A and B are shown apart, each in its own frame.
Chain A
Amino acid sequence: AQKITQTQPGMFVQEKEAVTLDCTYDTSDPSYGLFWYKQPSSGEMIFLIYQGSYDQQNATEGRYSLNFQKARKSANLVISASQLGDSAMYFCAMREAPDSWGKLQFGAGTQVVVTP
């Protein structure tokens, strides 16, 4: 069963606008972590932001913020003031407690294209 669901295969956003990328997850584990990564066309994986299941506040990192709704099991990424360099594939990922040091399960990704 798919554990991470990203329903938006692709999105266009205008420069300087904000964009929200959706991510829902499925786990029965009370302890888990949620990550967002950016993958430009060159292929490297760039870590953006992390949210732990027990964190009381939504995570923020510069222009990135995470809208964490635990009851809905959603962890949407918000990119504010989009820049042309934000054009990339964005992946939501989850780490569950039994794999605490380890592996991430990734969603299908959302391709973001920022237009001038």
Chain B
Amino acid sequence: GAVVSQHPSWVICKSGTSVKIECRSLDFQATTMFWYRQFPKQSLMLMATSNEGSKATYEQGVEKDKFLINHASLTLSTLTVTSAHPEDSSFYICSAPGQGSRDSPLHFGNGTRLTVT
């Protein structure tokens, strides 16, 4: 089945530094990638939608200058958390629509646990 590979699986960084998270679709082309954020014991909240070759669409309340999204190719989307602060510590997970019908489930990466110290 379709696989989305997400790296790194966890990262610890110092406050003020930037962190890049990559998501690759391994055996299919993902023209769209969705980036979600999940705080402990909470639900997944959509942050933004990346589209290959065009600007990402951000959900209300998400700072586009802080969470830079790039979808440079049909198989790679990246999320960069710029000038990270402790409140950015969270679980970030990407997903891509499957091939085929609109009823196909989203295929998720395994997530990245970010800790900002």
Q: Is B25 an interface residue (CB 8 A)?
A: no
Which residues in A have some Cβ–Cβ distance to B below 8 Å?
33, 35, 37, 42-45, 47, 50, 52, 91, 95, 100-109, 111
Q: Is B56 an interface residue (CB 8 A)?
A: no
Which of A44, A50, A100, A103 is the most central at the interface, judged by chain B CB atoms within 10 Å of its CB? A103
Interface size class of B (residues with CB under 8 A): 20 to 34
Taking a contact as CB atoms under 8 Å apart, the answer to whether A45 and B95 are in contact is: yes
Interface of B is mostly: strand
Q: Is B110 an interface residue (CB 8 A)?
A: yes
Which of B42, B105, B108, B110 is within 8 Å of A108, CB to CB?
B42
Q: A95 → chain B, closest Cβ, in Å? A: 8
Taking a contact as CB atoms under 8 Å apart, the answer to whether A102 and B97 are in contact is: yes
Q: Give a binary string over B83-117; 1 marks a CB under 8 Å from any A CB, 0 the rest.
A: 00000000101010100001101111011010000
Taking a contact as CB atoms under 8 Å apart, the answer to whether A35 and B49 are in contact is: no
Taking a contact as CB atoms under 8 Å apart, the answer to whether A50 and B105 are in contact is: yes
Say whether, besides A43-B110, A43-B111, A91-B43, A103 and B105 are in contact (CB < 8 Å): no
